[in-house]
């Protein structure tokens, strides 16, 4: 199977989801949202030709027991449907990877929000002892699929809902932004450089936010401009969320907003996703804050509720 030239992008500032993205090539474009509790990583799989890899938060691509990755296969005269891709994979493992006992079984389907249907196959019997669940979508010109692979068959079964959640978020499109060069794995939009340089973890973002709160160049902006603006607007937002949710979750949560030069949100980091946070995030990710004197500016907020 020939892996197409791929462009991948993190859309970290989209509403609700912190880990959204797309995979783009000459003849394909599809979007996704990372499963709840999983990381979408467009860096760690590059050496293996993978545009996006996924793993549970708190682990890594290298050490996670169960992982997911996105792949694409060209349609050809002999490869027109997911079942053809499955047959080709079995043949490849049996001949190239010395795994004569490998088997594949169709174990279900998942319907994406757009109506596209993924066929799910389970692969067992490779020589390394791995098990896989693969969700195949029949794209316009390609077979687009997500592979969940695990060293532990029981963990694979426990993690299946994550694969199904990822598949439900799938959307094939024609509006992915082209990259200036094949294989580029950084964003291609106007915020590309800023997003590329953002810290990768919440703790890193918190540390930067605390530094900016006290730094001479940003102290006055934080105290006299940004926090009064946030406090006034989001007091009403939180009231709306508590009033409209049937069972508001009053757990404490922490988040950091990375703000670009014109006040728009580049990324929202968070420790947990309560329904109150998700409600608030619908406003937050559309926000235009007062432009900061230094960018990216990291607004660090810890929310606790009196009981």
pLDDT tens string 244-301: 988 888 889 999 999 988 898 888 888 887 888 888 887 887 789 999 999 899 999 9
The arithmetic mean of pLDDT across residues 178-196, rounded, is 47
- CB-count burial class (<10 Å; 0-12, 13-18, 19+) for 238: middle
What pLDDT, on the 0 to 100 scale, is given for residue 33? 87
User: In this predicted model, what pLDDT tens digit does every residue of 69-126 receive, in sequence order?
Assistant: 999 999 999 999 999 999 999 999 999 888 999 999 999 999 998 899 999 999 999 9
If you write DSSP's letter for every residue of 147-158 in order, what string do you get?
A: EEEES-HHHHHH
Please report which confidence band the pLDDT of residue 188 belongs to, taking 50, 70 and 90 as the band edges.
very low
pLDDT at 223 exceeding the cut of 90: yes
Query: How many other β-carbons are positioned within 10 Å of the β-carbon of residue 47?
Result: 7
Tokens of 306: 């009196």
| Domains defined for the chain, CATH in brackets | 7-189 (3.40.1000.10), 198-303 (3.30.1150)
83 CB contacts (<8 Å, ≥6 apart)? 119
The position carrying tokens 């896989």 is: 132
What pLDDT, on the 0 to 100 scale, is given for residue 200? 76
Please report which confidence band the pLDDT of residue 10 belongs to, taking 50, 70 and 90 as the band edges.
very low
Which of residues 238 and 224 earns the better pLDDT score?
224
What pLDDT, on the 0 to 100 scale, is given for residue 277? 87
User: In this predicted model, what pLDDT tens digit does every residue of 133-182 receive, in sequence order?
Assistant: 999 999 999 999 999 999 999 999 999 999 999 999 999 987 776 544 33
Which of residues 14 and 175 earns the better pLDDT score?
175
What pLDDT, on the 0 to 100 scale, is given for residue 116? 95
Q: How far apart are CA 241 and CA 224, in angstroms?
A: 26
What pLDDT, on the 0 to 100 scale, is given for residue 187? 40
Strand stretches in the chain, DSSP E: 7-10, 20-25, 28-33, 38-41, 53-56, 66-74, 103-111, 117-124, 131-138, 142-150, 171-172, 253-259, 265-270, 297-303
pLDDT at 183 exceeding the cut of 80: no
């Amino acid at each position: 199977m020939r892996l197409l030239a791929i462009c991948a992008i993190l859309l970290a500032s989209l509403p609700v989801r912190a880990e959204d993205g797309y995979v783009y090539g000459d003849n394909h474009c599809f979007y996704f949202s990372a499963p709840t509790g999983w990381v979408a990583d467009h860096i760690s799989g590059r050496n293996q030709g993978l545009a996006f890899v996924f793993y549970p938060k708190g682990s890594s691509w290298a050490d996670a027991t169960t992982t997911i990755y996105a792949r694409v296969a060209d349609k050809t005269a002999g490869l027109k449907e997911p079942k053809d891709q499955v047959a080709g994979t079995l043949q490849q493992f049996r001949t190239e990877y010395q795994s004569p006992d490998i088997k594949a079984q169709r174990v279900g389907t998942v319907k994406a929000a757009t109506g596209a249907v993924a066929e799910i196959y389970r692969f067992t019997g490779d020589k390394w002892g791995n098990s896989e669940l693969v969700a195949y979508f029949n794209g316009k010109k390609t077979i687009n699929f997500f592979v969940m692979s695990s060293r532990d068959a029981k963990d694979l079964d426990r993690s299946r809902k994550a694969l199904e959640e990822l598949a439900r978020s799938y959307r094939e499109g024609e509006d992915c932004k082209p990259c200036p060069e094949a294989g580029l794995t950084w964003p291609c939009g106007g915020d590309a450089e800023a997003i590329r340089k953002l810290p990768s973890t919440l703790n890193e973002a918190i540390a930067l936010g605390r530094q900016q709160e006290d730094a001479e160049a940003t102290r006055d902006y934080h105290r006299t401009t940004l926090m009064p603006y946030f406090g006034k607007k989001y007091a009403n937002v939180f009231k709306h969320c508590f009033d409209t949710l049937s069972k508001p979750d009053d757990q404490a949560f922490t988040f950091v907003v990375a703000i670009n030069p014109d006040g728009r949100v580049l990324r929202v980091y968070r420790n947990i996703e309560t329904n109150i946070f998700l409600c608030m995030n619908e406003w937050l990710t559309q926000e235009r804050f007062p432009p900061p004197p230094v960018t990216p500016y990291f607004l660090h907020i810890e929310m606790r509720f009196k009981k």
